[in-house]
Amino acid sequence: MKLILKGILVIFIYTGLAMSCEKDDDNISQQNSSVSEIKDVAESGNWKITYFFDSDQNETDHFVGYVFTFNENGSLRAVNGSTTITGTWSVTDSNSSDDDGGSSDVDFNIFFATPSDFEDLSDDWEIIFINNSVIELTDVSGGNGGTDFLTFEKI
In tens, the pLDDT along 69-102 reads: 999 999 999 999 999 999 999 999 866 554 444 4
Number of structural domains (the chain) is 1
Asked if residue 7 is part of any domain, the answer here is no
**Would 8 be classed as within a structural domain?**
no
Total-model pTM = 0.75
The tens digit of pLDDT for each residue in 8-36 reads: 443 444 444 444 444 444 555 444 578 99
Assign 3-class secondary structure to the chain.
CHHHHHHHHHHHHHHHHHHHCCCCCCEECCCCCCHHHHHHHHCCCEEEEEEEEECCEECHHHHCCCEEEECCCCEEEEEECCEEEEEEEEEECCCCCCCCCCCCCCEEEEECCCCHHHHCCCEEEEEEEEECCEEEEEEECCCCCCEEEEEEEEC
Distances (CA, A) of 145 to 54, 55, 148: 11, 8, 10
CATH number of the domain encompassing residue 61 = 2.40.128
Q: CA–CA separation, 10 vs 7, rounded Å?
A: 5
pLDDT above 90 coverage of the chain, percent? 64
Report residue 71: phi and psi, to 5°: -85, 150
Would you say residue 2 lies in a domain? no
Which pLDDT belongs to residue 55? 83
Residue type at position 86: T
Note whether residue 74 is domain-resident: yes
Is 15 among the domain residues? no
Residue range(s) defining the domain that contains residue 134: 26-154
The residues that bridge with 135 in the sheet, in sequence order, are: 130, 152
Q: Is residue 13 in a domain?
A: no
Q: What is the mean pLDDT of residues 45-74?
A: 96
Cβ proximity of 41 and 28 under 8 Å: yes
Nearest CA to 34 out of 130, 140, 145, 151 is that of 130
Per-residue pLDDT averaged across 127-147, rounded? 90
> Is there a domain that residue 143 lies in?
yes
Residue 9 resides in a domain: no
